[in-house]
Amino acid sequence: MAAEQTNSGQANRGNSRLIAYALITVAVVLFILGLLDDYDGGLSISPMKQFEVVPALGGDMVHWYTVTNATLFMGLAILSVAALMVLGTRGRAIIPSRAQSLAELAYGFIRKMVEDVAGKDALPYFPYILTLFLFILFGNFLGLIPGSFTTTSHFAVTMVLALAVFVTVTLLGFIKNGTAFLSLFWVSSAPLVLRPVLAIIELISYFVRPVSHSVRLAGAITAGHAVMKVFAGFAGVAMVAPLAIGGMVAIYALEVLVAAIQAYVFAILTCVYLKDALHPHH
């Protein structure tokens, strides 16, 4: 038993070192990319240039049929979700592979979250929430690859996702409860005089949901990538280059955490809105 614990501890330390080395390697690559991209005979930083939507296959004009960097990486995110959940679980082995373990972990994690937050009667809508979570998660992580494009940094993308949730839960609320869904805006526990005022406030806050839902995700991702680009831009100043590398390592590690947290926040807020649609009286 002691020998097994020792081996387990050594394996965990080895995995931690591997993760640390990987983060350092990626930070150095980003630093070099920043040096090549932003240094032109002096300090020149363009942190917002990385968010420009351009044709992925070359050219200058973007038409409705043009494959852009945004659509390309959205497609890659969809393919990544399909690869994990379809190809990763194809074998259904008793002793799961790493891909199957990740798929089962994501499945169990989101299913439990839906059940705990929105209740068991929300489980029929679990596949939709799982798909949202995985799409945002892979979109965030793909954007951390040097030279890639982060689709979830664009308000147009996150707003469509948030509006889809908003319209779905609103229609579901009326379908399941009829006009009783409007009781969500009527605070019956408040004094009668204050109820109309609170109803207006609740109504406004309800329609602001898709804005806050989308801006939170896009803003967090955009801010983190902009900061990384600023640190990469300091490659043009030799005296602060070591500090820039250290800053890149720290910011990149934080961005990995933010990428996962923002996908989780988007999913759990969807569960909260779904709970309001299914149980407006609570």
pLDDT tens readout for residues 4-29: 445 555 556 666 677 777 766 766 66
pLDDT digits (tens, 9 = 90+) for 77-89: 999 999 998 887 8
pLDDT of 94 higher than 80: no
Average pLDDT over residues 205-211: 93
Find the mean pLDDT for residues 270-278: 93
Residue type, 52: E
pLDDT of residue 152: 94
- Structural domain including 151 reads 2-278
The domain tally of the chain equals: 1
Please check the confidence at residue 46 and state whether its pLDDT lies above 60: yes
